[in-house]
Amino acid sequence: MKNEQIYACAKCGAQFQKWSGRCTGCGAWGTIGEDALETEEAAPSRALSKKPGKTNAFSDLTKENGSAERVKTLHAPFDELLGGGLVPGSVTLFGGEPGIGKSTLLSQIALTLSQAGQSVLYVTGEESPSQVRLRLERLAPAIPPSLRFLDRNDAEVIAATILKEKPALVIADSVQTLRVESVSGEPGNISQIKAGASILIEAAKKSGVPLVLVGQVTKDGDLAGPRLLEHLVDTVLMLEGDRSHTFRMLRVLKHRFGNTEECSVFSMTERGLEIVSDPSSALLADRPVQASGTIVSCLLEGGHPLACELQALIAPAGYGTPLRRVSGFDSNRVSLLLAVLGRRAGVPCADMDVFFNVVGGIRVSEPGLDLAVALALASAKYDCAVPDSVMAWGEVGLAGELRPVSRPEARLKEAKRLGFKTVIVPKQKKQVTLDGLEIRACSTLREAIQAAGLKKS
């Protein structure tokens, strides 16, 4: 086998003969690094010299092979999110931005499981064992002896340890620090990550030990490098949020053994991440009273309704291109809604600086939030407050028309539970209603702006 120098993009994995600043595959800047290419004889010619494999009928598979028995981590919210716990031999990729709380949550899980007398192996790489110990001490009064660490980054050594010790759970923190001797390049580059993870994945499958691989994520939300691991692992979890806020969302992006739509909300406290039992109320706790530019909407997260507050501020632009600063929501979507507001609803904002924010540092992406975003912007533009007892949802089309959202009944119930009196929603043939809630059904954004009582002051 001959190793030749080639280059690969850390984001999409495209390979190049020459280094360049920008990947032509995905358009990302500064993601191309060294990679090793294995040049061997063409695979088909080698195939002739191999012994063929044995095929089997699916119907002959015994039930045990298919049934998903679970290893409970005993951390209740985590087990629930995964539909009962981790599946033996399964591999979970746990992603999130640096400092978001990945190691914290996994330390809590490691502690709960080891406190129940089960052995847990924490492979340190990102931090030194004493740093991990400091965190563990912060999270629990005593660290059980069955919680062990391995301070190695050689993937083959880690795999051998898993196969020999067969702990109840292995946490490898992180996949970016794994190293494989036979592969060229520094830890963290594509080929090292791929090779290191594959070795650990194989060890997990062979030993039946569930494995959690921590993957650092870049600012734009990509599992840097680990993106390529998504198809190799059984489950992909993503911890999201804003480091300067307390709320964190743990989402299931892929799950071979259960629902992918799941999502839990945690808050970061001095005792680690704690599950938030009523996230809607928590997110609305510090709402300003009768403030212009703010409105509450309800989206569906993990199949559950979640109310969140949206805030907009609009001010005349100084000079040059007006500013557009958006956090927690797709900024292109905000630009689109500004255009729709201007062209279809008579609320022009073209020469204004626009700031938009989802309160609590959470990120939301449902199109059902469009209407509330547009109303927050209109309210900010007119400096006229939407009454505090009003909630809104609906998708906004390019013609300024409102389109229905999924499961309106769940959202209505949540609005009523939280004490809202009026909801502004898209008009539907079969309008869903709920006793005790005034439904203002509108077919256009223009109508909705009126229904919200917004006018130029």
- The span of 118-126, 234-242, 371-379, 422-430 binding Mg ion (CB under 5 A) equals 118-126
Cβ(9)–Cβ(23) below 8 Å: yes
- Under the binding rule (CB under 6 A), the answer on residue 129 touching ligand TYD is no
Q: Which residue's CB is nearer to Mg ion, number 103 or number 119?
A: 103
* CB 141, min distance to ligand TYD, A: 13
Interacting residue with ligand TYD among 268, 373, 396, 425 (CB under 6 A): 268
Please choose which of Mg ion, ligand TYD, none residue 351 contacts, taking the beta carbon within 5 to 8 angstroms, the exact cut-off set by kind: none
**Pairwise CA distance, residues 200 & 211, whole Å:** 8
- The span of 67-75, 92-100, 160-168, 377-385 binding ligand TYD (CB under 6 A) equals 92-100
Interacting residue with Mg ion among 31, 92, 103, 264 (CB under 5 A): 103
- Under the binding rule (CB under 6 A), the answer on residue 100 touching ligand TYD is yes
* CB 104, min distance to Mg ion, A: 8
* CB 96, min distance to ligand TYD, A: 5
- Under the binding rule (CB under 5 A), the answer on residue 191 touching Mg ion is no
Beta strands in 24-158 (DSSP E): 32-39, 91-96, 120-124, 147-150
**Pairwise CA distance, residues 171 & 108, whole Å:** 12
Interacting residue with ligand TYD among 135, 152, 403, 413 (CB under 6 A): 135
Radius of gyration over every alpha carbon of the chain, rounded to an integer in angstroms? 26
- Under the binding rule (CB under 6 A), the answer on residue 272 touching ligand TYD is yes
103 labelled as ligand-binding?
Answer: yes
Q: Which residue's CB is nearer to Mg ion, number 140 or number 337?
A: 140
Cβ(109)–Cβ(75) below 8 Å: yes
Residue labelled with tokens 């300067």? 244
Give the list of residues 6+ apart from residue 157 with CB closer than 8 angstroms, or none: 150
Please choose which of ligand TYD, Mg ion, none residue 413 contacts, taking the beta carbon within 5 to 8 angstroms, the exact cut-off set by kind: none
Number of neighbouring beta carbons within 10 Å of residue 433: 15
Cβ(293)–Cβ(379) below 8 Å: yes
Interacting residue with ligand TYD among 31, 90, 92, 103 (CB under 6 A): 103
**Pairwise CA distance, residues 106 & 208, whole Å:** 19
**Pairwise CA distance, residues 281 & 155, whole Å:** 45
Q: Give the CA count within 13 Å in the CB-facing half-sphere of 456.
A: 4
- Under the binding rule (CB under 5 A), the answer on residue 177 touching Mg ion is no
Q: Which residue's CB is nearer to ligand TYD, number 217 or number 385?
A: 217
97 labelled as ligand-binding?
Answer: yes
- Under the binding rule (CB under 6 A), the answer on residue 221 touching ligand TYD is no
96 labelled as ligand-binding?
Answer: yes
Number of neighbouring beta carbons within 10 Å of residue 165: 14
* CB 156, min distance to Mg ion, A: 23
Cβ(235)–Cβ(203) below 8 Å: no
* CB 316, min distance to ligand TYD, A: 38
**Pairwise CA distance, residues 261 & 251, whole Å:** 8
Report CA-CA distances (Å) from 29 to 19, 26, 70, 275. Answer: 12, 9, 42, 37
Residue labelled with tokens 């009928």? 57
* CB 7, min distance to ligand TYD, A: 28
Annotated binding residues, as ranges?
A: 96-103
Question: Residues forming the annotated binding site for ATP?
Answer: 96-103
Residues in contact with Mg ion by CB under 5 A are: 103, 126
Binding site for ligand TYD (CB under 6 A): 96, 98-104, 135, 138-139, 268, 270-272
